[in-house]
Amino acid sequence: MGTIYWKLYVDDTSVLLTPEVSEKDIYNRLSQCHRFIRELALNNGYLLAFVEAVIQRQLHLVYTPRVIKPALPETDTIVLRVPYYGKPSQIYTKRVTVGAAKLDPSKKMRVDQNFSAKDQILTELKSGAVYETTCPECNDKYIGKPVDT
């Protein structure tokens, strides 16, 4: 009968080592751990080739992480910003899109609409004004600040 329960946990985020620990000590301890895993797996009926494959795959993930390659755009992108609302701006957008497609069909056309045509005001440049108004009929007070400040 093989080992029923075995648990080994090492924190993934950090392992604190004393200055006396050398690379050789770490290598020896890791080798002992792998040897124990191999013996445990063989006692429980796993094939040695399977165990070696799992150990190598996990070591490969740790020591040689995958290189992330950024996706290259296949086509150029044209961005058209139309800051106006309504039917005339939609007609203008459609005409420019059709014209650009006729000139160069390989280019991708993107239209941005309904964005703020006004620049954001930095917090340091805002006035910070606060006002108070009183209703002449019911004497209710309202305290607020201007929207654009």
The per-residue DSSP string of 68-111 comes to PPPPPPSS-EEEEEE---SHHHHHHHHHHHHHHHHH-TTSEEEE
Provide the mean pLDDT of the chain.
75
Q: What pTM did the predictor assign?
A: 0.31
Identity of the residue numbered 59: L
Residue in the block written with tokens 């993934």: 12
pLDDT digit string, tens, across residues 46-100: 888 888 888 888 776 666 667 788 777 666 777 777 777 778 888 888 888 888 8
